[in-house]
Amino acid sequence: MLMWTPQMDEFFLQAMLTQQYHGNRIDGTFTSTAYTNMVNELHEKLNMNFSKSHLKNRLKTLKDHFAQYYDLFRGVGLSGFAWNSETKLFEADNEVWDSLIEVSKPDAIKWKTKKIHNYNELAELFAKDRAIGAAAGTAKEKKKQWSKTTSDQTETLEDVDRLLSTNKVTLENLIVDDDVFISSMPSLEEVQMNLNSSKNKKRKYEEDESMTLKIMSSLEAVGDAIKEGNAILKDSNIIMERSRQRVYSGDEIYNELELLNLEPNIISKAYLLLIKDQDSAQALFGCPARI
Protein backbone atom coordinates (compact mmCIF):
# COMPACT_ATOMS: atom_id res chain seq x y z
CA MET A 1 0.00 0.00 0.00
CA LEU A 2 1.36 3.39 -1.01
CA MET A 3 1.74 5.84 1.89
CA TRP A 4 1.26 9.45 0.84
CA THR A 5 3.28 12.23 2.43
CA PRO A 6 2.51 16.00 2.41
CA GLN A 7 5.27 16.46 -0.17
CA MET A 8 3.75 13.81 -2.43
CA ASP A 9 0.35 15.48 -2.11
CA GLU A 10 1.84 18.82 -3.02
CA PHE A 11 3.48 17.46 -6.19
CA PHE A 12 0.29 15.57 -7.10
CA LEU A 13 -1.87 18.69 -6.71
CA GLN A 14 0.50 20.70 -8.90
CA ALA A 15 0.42 17.94 -11.51
CA MET A 16 -3.40 17.96 -11.49
CA LEU A 17 -3.49 21.74 -11.87
CA THR A 18 -1.11 21.52 -14.81
CA GLN A 19 -3.30 18.98 -16.58
CA GLN A 20 -6.39 21.04 -15.84
CA TYR A 21 -4.76 24.13 -17.36
CA HIS A 22 -3.89 22.11 -20.46
CA GLY A 23 -7.53 21.06 -20.92
CA ASN A 24 -7.07 17.45 -19.89
CA ARG A 25 -9.87 17.61 -17.35
CA ILE A 26 -13.36 17.45 -18.84
CA ASP A 27 -16.49 18.00 -16.75
CA GLY A 28 -14.47 17.46 -13.58
CA THR A 29 -12.88 14.20 -14.72
CA PHE A 30 -9.25 13.79 -15.73
CA THR A 31 -8.66 12.09 -19.07
CA SER A 32 -6.48 9.04 -19.65
CA THR A 33 -3.88 11.36 -21.15
CA ALA A 34 -3.90 13.42 -17.97
CA TYR A 35 -3.25 10.37 -15.78
CA THR A 36 -0.43 9.19 -18.05
CA ASN A 37 1.19 12.62 -17.89
CA MET A 38 0.79 12.82 -14.09
CA VAL A 39 2.26 9.36 -13.54
CA ASN A 40 5.30 10.33 -15.59
CA GLU A 41 5.66 13.70 -13.87
CA LEU A 42 5.48 12.27 -10.35
CA HIS A 43 7.91 9.51 -11.24
CA GLU A 44 10.38 12.10 -12.54
CA LYS A 45 10.05 14.48 -9.57
CA LEU A 46 9.77 11.96 -6.72
CA ASN A 47 11.67 9.05 -8.22
CA MET A 48 8.82 6.73 -7.30
CA ASN A 49 6.68 4.37 -9.30
CA PHE A 50 3.02 5.33 -9.47
CA SER A 51 0.09 3.75 -11.23
CA LYS A 52 -3.12 5.32 -12.48
CA SER A 53 -5.05 3.59 -9.67
CA HIS A 54 -2.71 5.12 -7.09
CA LEU A 55 -3.54 8.58 -8.37
CA LYS A 56 -7.27 7.96 -8.69
CA ASN A 57 -7.52 6.63 -5.14
CA ARG A 58 -5.53 9.54 -3.71
CA LEU A 59 -7.60 12.04 -5.71
CA LYS A 60 -10.77 10.58 -4.20
CA THR A 61 -9.31 10.83 -0.69
CA LEU A 62 -8.19 14.42 -1.16
CA LYS A 63 -11.54 15.36 -2.64
CA ASP A 64 -13.48 13.71 0.21
CA HIS A 65 -11.39 15.47 2.86
CA PHE A 66 -11.81 18.79 1.06
CA ALA A 67 -15.57 18.32 0.91
CA GLN A 68 -15.78 17.93 4.69
CA TYR A 69 -14.44 21.36 5.58
CA TYR A 70 -15.48 23.15 2.40
CA ASP A 71 -19.14 22.26 2.89
CA LEU A 72 -18.92 22.95 6.62
CA PHE A 73 -17.55 26.46 6.14
CA ARG A 74 -19.33 26.99 2.81
CA GLY A 75 -16.03 27.68 1.13
CA VAL A 76 -15.00 30.72 3.10
CA GLY A 77 -18.48 32.21 3.11
CA LEU A 78 -19.74 31.06 6.51
CA SER A 79 -20.46 34.16 8.52
CA GLY A 80 -17.74 34.95 11.05
CA PHE A 81 -15.13 32.59 9.60
CA ALA A 82 -12.06 33.37 7.51
CA TRP A 83 -9.29 31.24 6.03
CA ASN A 84 -5.78 32.11 7.24
CA SER A 85 -3.21 30.98 4.69
CA GLU A 86 -0.36 31.42 7.18
CA THR A 87 -1.78 29.35 10.03
CA LYS A 88 -3.60 27.09 7.53
CA LEU A 89 -6.70 27.23 9.74
CA PHE A 90 -10.25 28.44 9.53
CA GLU A 91 -10.41 31.19 12.16
CA ALA A 92 -13.23 32.94 14.01
CA ASP A 93 -14.02 34.41 17.40
CA ASN A 94 -14.60 31.88 20.18
CA GLU A 95 -18.30 32.61 20.44
CA VAL A 96 -18.68 31.95 16.70
CA TRP A 97 -16.91 28.61 17.07
CA ASP A 98 -19.03 27.76 20.11
CA SER A 99 -22.21 28.48 18.21
CA LEU A 100 -21.16 26.27 15.29
CA ILE A 101 -19.96 23.41 17.50
CA GLU A 102 -22.66 23.37 20.16
CA VAL A 103 -25.71 24.22 18.08
CA SER A 104 -25.28 22.72 14.63
CA LYS A 105 -21.99 20.93 13.95
CA PRO A 106 -20.42 19.21 17.00
CA ASP A 107 -17.85 17.45 14.80
CA ALA A 108 -16.52 20.81 13.63
CA ILE A 109 -14.37 21.13 16.76
CA LYS A 110 -11.54 19.19 15.11
CA TRP A 111 -11.15 21.91 12.45
CA LYS A 112 -10.44 24.48 15.14
CA THR A 113 -6.89 23.13 15.47
CA LYS A 114 -6.46 20.79 12.48
CA LYS A 115 -4.32 22.43 9.81
CA ILE A 116 -5.35 22.17 6.18
CA HIS A 117 -2.45 22.04 3.76
CA ASN A 118 -2.70 23.20 0.15
CA TYR A 119 -6.17 24.68 0.65
CA ASN A 120 -5.88 27.09 -2.27
CA GLU A 121 -4.83 24.35 -4.70
CA LEU A 122 -7.59 22.05 -3.46
CA ALA A 123 -10.15 24.83 -3.81
CA GLU A 124 -9.02 25.55 -7.37
CA LEU A 125 -9.40 21.90 -8.27
CA PHE A 126 -12.56 20.94 -6.39
CA ALA A 127 -14.47 24.04 -5.28
CA LYS A 128 -16.42 24.20 -8.52
CA ASP A 129 -17.59 20.62 -7.94
CA ARG A 130 -18.85 21.72 -4.51
CA ALA A 131 -20.54 24.88 -5.84
CA ILE A 132 -23.95 23.32 -5.53
CA GLY A 133 -22.93 21.00 -2.74
CA ALA A 134 -22.52 17.43 -1.67
CA ALA A 135 -23.77 17.15 1.90
CA ALA A 136 -27.38 16.52 1.01
CA GLY A 137 -26.72 13.52 -1.23
CA THR A 138 -26.85 12.97 -4.98
CA ALA A 139 -29.49 14.39 -7.26
CA LYS A 140 -30.55 10.92 -8.35
CA GLU A 141 -31.64 10.12 -4.80
CA LYS A 142 -33.52 13.39 -4.56
CA LYS A 143 -35.20 12.81 -7.91
CA LYS A 144 -36.90 9.70 -6.55
CA GLN A 145 -38.53 11.82 -3.84
CA TRP A 146 -39.45 14.48 -6.35
CA SER A 147 -41.22 12.02 -8.68
CA LYS A 148 -43.43 10.89 -5.77
CA THR A 149 -44.58 14.40 -4.93
CA THR A 150 -45.03 16.22 -8.21
CA SER A 151 -44.38 15.90 -11.92
CA ASP A 152 -44.65 19.62 -12.52
CA GLN A 153 -41.58 21.63 -13.37
CA THR A 154 -40.97 24.73 -11.28
CA GLU A 155 -39.37 27.30 -13.51
CA THR A 156 -40.26 30.51 -11.71
CA LEU A 157 -40.24 31.81 -8.16
CA GLU A 158 -44.02 32.07 -8.32
CA ASP A 159 -44.25 28.32 -9.03
CA VAL A 160 -42.01 27.54 -6.08
CA ASP A 161 -44.08 29.81 -3.84
CA ARG A 162 -47.29 28.08 -4.91
CA LEU A 163 -45.92 24.57 -4.36
CA LEU A 164 -44.42 25.44 -0.98
CA SER A 165 -47.66 27.02 0.20
CA THR A 166 -49.68 23.93 -0.76
CA ASN A 167 -47.06 21.49 0.65
CA LYS A 168 -46.74 19.80 -2.75
CA VAL A 169 -43.00 20.14 -2.52
CA THR A 170 -40.53 20.80 0.29
CA LEU A 171 -37.10 22.34 0.33
CA GLU A 172 -35.54 18.91 0.83
CA ASN A 173 -36.86 17.53 -2.48
CA LEU A 174 -36.31 20.58 -4.63
CA ILE A 175 -33.54 19.09 -6.83
CA VAL A 176 -31.38 19.67 -9.86
CA ASP A 177 -30.09 17.58 -12.79
CA ASP A 178 -28.57 14.11 -12.58
CA ASP A 179 -25.07 13.55 -11.21
CA VAL A 180 -24.91 16.99 -9.61
CA PHE A 181 -24.42 17.20 -5.87
CA ILE A 182 -26.74 19.33 -3.75
CA SER A 183 -25.54 21.33 -0.75
CA SER A 184 -27.56 22.14 2.32
CA MET A 185 -30.76 23.85 1.17
CA PRO A 186 -31.68 27.40 2.22
CA SER A 187 -34.15 27.92 5.00
CA LEU A 188 -37.82 28.51 4.34
CA GLU A 189 -37.39 32.08 5.60
CA GLU A 190 -34.61 32.68 3.04
CA VAL A 191 -36.71 31.26 0.22
CA GLN A 192 -39.69 33.36 1.27
CA MET A 193 -37.50 36.48 1.40
CA ASN A 194 -36.33 35.79 -2.15
CA LEU A 195 -39.90 35.25 -3.31
CA ASN A 196 -41.04 38.48 -1.68
CA SER A 197 -38.11 40.31 -3.20
CA SER A 198 -39.03 39.02 -6.65
CA LYS A 199 -42.65 40.05 -6.21
CA ASN A 200 -41.65 43.49 -4.93
CA LYS A 201 -39.39 43.99 -7.94
CA LYS A 202 -42.22 42.96 -10.27
CA ARG A 203 -44.66 45.30 -8.51
CA LYS A 204 -42.10 48.13 -8.60
CA TYR A 205 -41.60 47.55 -12.32
CA GLU A 206 -45.36 47.68 -12.96
CA GLU A 207 -45.69 50.87 -10.89
CA ASP A 208 -42.79 52.50 -12.75
CA GLU A 209 -44.29 51.48 -16.09
CA SER A 210 -47.68 52.91 -15.08
CA MET A 211 -46.08 56.16 -13.93
CA THR A 212 -44.16 56.41 -17.20
CA LEU A 213 -47.39 56.05 -19.20
CA LYS A 214 -49.05 58.73 -17.08
CA ILE A 215 -46.15 61.12 -17.59
CA MET A 216 -46.14 60.48 -21.34
CA SER A 217 -49.90 61.07 -21.50
CA SER A 218 -49.53 64.31 -19.57
CA LEU A 219 -46.74 65.49 -21.84
CA GLU A 220 -48.88 64.75 -24.89
CA ALA A 221 -51.74 66.76 -23.38
CA VAL A 222 -49.38 69.66 -22.68
CA GLY A 223 -48.07 69.48 -26.24
CA ASP A 224 -51.59 69.56 -27.66
CA ALA A 225 -52.44 72.53 -25.44
CA ILE A 226 -49.33 74.39 -26.62
CA LYS A 227 -50.22 73.72 -30.26
CA GLU A 228 -53.78 74.91 -29.71
CA GLY A 229 -52.53 78.00 -27.87
CA ASN A 230 -50.13 78.81 -30.69
CA ALA A 231 -52.94 78.51 -33.24
CA ILE A 232 -55.16 80.83 -31.19
CA LEU A 233 -52.31 83.31 -30.78
CA LYS A 234 -51.64 83.24 -34.51
CA ASP A 235 -55.31 83.91 -35.31
CA SER A 236 -55.35 86.69 -32.73
CA ASN A 237 -52.30 88.32 -34.29
CA ILE A 238 -53.92 88.20 -37.70
CA ILE A 239 -57.07 89.85 -36.34
CA MET A 240 -55.05 92.48 -34.52
CA GLU A 241 -52.99 93.14 -37.63
CA ARG A 242 -56.13 93.58 -39.69
CA SER A 243 -57.70 95.88 -37.11
CA ARG A 244 -54.64 98.07 -36.73
CA GLN A 245 -54.94 101.60 -38.32
CA ARG A 246 -52.79 102.13 -41.40
CA VAL A 247 -50.27 104.89 -40.70
CA TYR A 248 -49.01 106.74 -43.75
CA SER A 249 -45.61 108.37 -43.79
CA GLY A 250 -44.97 111.99 -44.69
CA ASP A 251 -43.45 111.05 -48.03
CA GLU A 252 -46.49 108.96 -48.93
CA ILE A 253 -48.87 111.80 -48.08
CA TYR A 254 -46.84 114.45 -49.94
CA ASN A 255 -46.52 112.31 -53.07
CA GLU A 256 -50.26 111.61 -53.04
CA LEU A 257 -51.03 115.35 -52.76
CA GLU A 258 -48.79 116.15 -55.72
CA LEU A 259 -50.79 113.74 -57.82
CA LEU A 260 -53.86 115.96 -57.25
CA ASN A 261 -52.20 118.89 -59.15
CA LEU A 262 -52.89 121.32 -56.30
CA GLU A 263 -51.22 124.64 -55.78
CA PRO A 264 -48.00 124.43 -53.80
CA ASN A 265 -49.36 126.51 -50.90
CA ILE A 266 -52.45 124.25 -50.70
CA ILE A 267 -50.26 121.16 -50.79
CA SER A 268 -48.25 122.50 -47.87
CA LYS A 269 -51.34 123.27 -45.76
CA ALA A 270 -52.95 119.92 -46.62
CA TYR A 271 -49.72 118.09 -45.85
CA LEU A 272 -49.50 119.62 -42.36
CA LEU A 273 -53.12 118.75 -41.68
CA LEU A 274 -52.88 115.17 -42.92
CA ILE A 275 -49.65 114.48 -41.01
CA LYS A 276 -51.52 115.27 -37.78
CA ASP A 277 -54.77 113.57 -38.77
CA GLN A 278 -54.34 109.98 -39.97
CA ASP A 279 -58.10 109.53 -40.37
CA SER A 280 -58.03 112.30 -43.00
CA ALA A 281 -54.95 110.70 -44.54
CA GLN A 282 -56.89 107.43 -44.83
CA ALA A 283 -59.64 109.34 -46.62
CA LEU A 284 -57.11 110.90 -48.96
CA PHE A 285 -55.88 107.52 -50.04
CA GLY A 286 -59.42 106.30 -50.60
CA CYS A 287 -59.40 103.83 -47.67
CA PRO A 288 -61.72 103.60 -44.70
CA ALA A 289 -60.28 104.62 -41.36
CA ARG A 290 -60.29 100.97 -40.24
CA ILE A 291 -59.72 97.99 -42.45
pLDDT tens for the chain, 291 residues: list them.
789 999 999 999 999 999 999 999 999 899 999 999 999 999 999 999 999 999 999 999 999 999 888 888 876 677 788 888 899 998 888 888 888 888 767 778 888 888 889 999 999 999 887 765 444 443 443 444 444 444 444 444 555 455 555 444 444 444 443 333 334 445 556 656 766 776 677 677 777 777 777 787 777 777 777 777 777 777 666 666 555 667 878 888 888 887 887 888 888 878 788 877 878 877 877 754 434
Cα-Cα end-to-end distance for the chain: 122
Please tell me the distance from the alpha carbon of residue 184 to that of residue 105, in angstroms, as a whole number: 13
Helices 6-21 and 52-72: angle between axes, nearest 10 degrees: 90
Q: What angle do CA 285, 288, 290 make, to 5 degrees?
A: 125
pTM: predicted TM-score of the whole model, two decimal places:
0.45
